[in-house]
Amino acid sequence: MASGGGTILSLPESFFLICINNEDHSVKKKLGGLFDFGLSAAVLSEMLLKDYISLVDKLAVTFDDKKTGEDLYDFFLEKIHAEKKIHSLKYWIKKASKKRKFIQNEVTAGLEGKNIIEPIGKKEYIIKNTAIVQNIYKNIRITAQKSTSIDERSVILLSLAKSCKLLKDILGSDEKQELKEDIKDIIKTDFFSNKLFEILQELEELED
């Protein structure tokens, strides 16, 4: 996903950035376990978009263990390929969420390398390139408004933002309410994004 100035961001990177609280610089504490699930879902979504894994009858499958050259994805690719039993996407999102610290370390290292964030503590980050985050917000708004042709990557990020209750911060209360039905329709029209939304809802209910 290109986000201003030609910078390419992965779904995990984009998701992480919209989870940073502008006031206290922390990853939004109110998300609770949703952050872990959302971040792991973003990783698996990126793997799907890059054809590292496939979704067959709701099952996440890989056909070989060829290295991608990206440590984050190679870690989970190896795990999925090594399993004797083929598991559902929901299973892998839940399992990957247990590795949230590893995922976060890989994602933040990538964002630091792109000079987008700077750590100021163990769990706080300053966004150095606010234009990139504003562009992510803009892309989510454009997707929600259906004002242009919509690509699957943008719909997935919209689905993640809705699932993790981030749309109020991105759109504002009034626009979020105004676009409520449109957003539902957009997500429903994309099989994977809709499946992702359903899975994250189910996992949230298990946490309650």
- Is 51 a residue whose pLDDT tops 60? yes
pLDDT of residue 97: 95
pLDDT of residue 31: 77
A 10 A CB-CB count for 108 gives 18
d(CA 91, CA 105): 22
Encoding tokens for residue 198? 């359903």
Mean per-residue pLDDT over the chain, rounded: 89
5 — pLDDT class (breaks 50, 70, 90): low
Least confident of 7-11, 59-63, 65-69, 102-106: 59-63
- Is 134 a residue whose pLDDT tops 70? yes
- Is 63 a residue whose pLDDT tops 60? yes
Could you give the C-alpha distances from 18 to 44, 52, 136, 206, in angstroms and in order? 18, 25, 8, 24
208 — pLDDT class (breaks 50, 70, 90): low
pLDDT of residue 57: 77
Encoding tokens for residue 125? 């980050």
- Is 20 a residue whose pLDDT tops 90? yes
Kindly report whether the global pTM for this prediction surpasses the value 0.85.
Answer: yes
pLDDT of residue 6: 65
Fill in the amino acid letter for 13: E
